[in-house]
Amino acid sequence: MTKTPTSRDGKTSGRGARDLRVRVKSAKGRKLSSTLWLERQLNDPYVARAKREGYRGRAAYKILELDDKYRFLVPGARVLDLGCAPGGWCQVAVARVNALGTKSGKKVGRVLGLDLQEVDPIAGAEIHVLDFLEEGADDKVKAWLGGPADVVMSDMAAASSGHKNTDHNRIVALVEAAAQLAFDVLEPGGTFVAKVLAGGAETDMQTMLKKNFTKVANVKPPASRSDSSEKFVVATGFRGRETPAED
């Protein structure tokens, strides 16, 4: 029997390499965009890795990579995850802040997830169905966390309209609203992490964050697809609500 040639890293090489990519045939009634999405999912190494490692989606690696660089999910931290469905970011946070208390000698953190829809339970995380824009949401958050948050993070995205500028403006507005909640619930010195789409409408948002945090970085982690316009803003060193007029 002929053996498929492999390289030193175990990957298939030679003529057989091109055969490893999964091709999805178009089906009657299925849109081309759906076929291309399915093909991309089947060939995405992060999707395969998430399945192997038990994460609920490839997005888990985005927050892992951001935390590897900025180190905000530390043992003992209280974390708020806005728009937490399906739960991958919560899974990462639970492990890193030691919410289950499995790291001997380390402080035990807390993880709170909020979403508009029901989310399957995650060990070590407390998840609630709540619109974070509603009156009194900040008080509920601090009560559930047992105090102010050390980290507020958001992977939320507004429903796509298909119009690039409209979608960009919507997600910027969503990030600004998330930041306003963060100003109400964050501990001084805390961190705010949120997904945005590259474009020209986020100048005011960036200015607002720079007035309220000591450092603001814009990052595209390796797990973010190269053909996606998404990036993440990581604001560290919350100053406290010192500039309400600007907010």
Q: Which of 3, 11, 103, 195 is catalytic?
A: 195
CA separation (Å) from 198 to 15, 117, 133, 165, 202? 39, 27, 24, 10, 8
The 3-state DSSP composition of the chain as helix, strand, coil percent (nearest 5) reads: 35, 20, 45
Any binding-site annotation on 89? Answer: yes
- What own/partner pairs with CB < 8 Å and gap ≥ 24 does 68-73 have? 69/219, 69/221, 70/191, 70/217, 70/234, 70/236, 72/150, 72/151, 72/191, 72/193, 72/234, 72/236, 73/97, 73/151
Q: How would you class 99 by CB atoms within 10 Å of its CB: exposed for 0-12, middle for 13-18, buried for 19 or more?
A: buried
Distance between CA 206 and CA 30 in Å, rounded?
Answer: 40
Q: DSSP assignment, residue 159?
A: P
In the residue annotation, 62 being an active-site residue is answered as no
Any binding-site annotation on 155? Answer: yes
Any binding-site annotation on 87? Answer: yes
Annotated binding site: 87, 89, 115, 131, 155
Annotated binding site for S-adenosyl-L-methionine: 87, 89, 115, 131, 155
> What are the residue numbers of the active site?
195
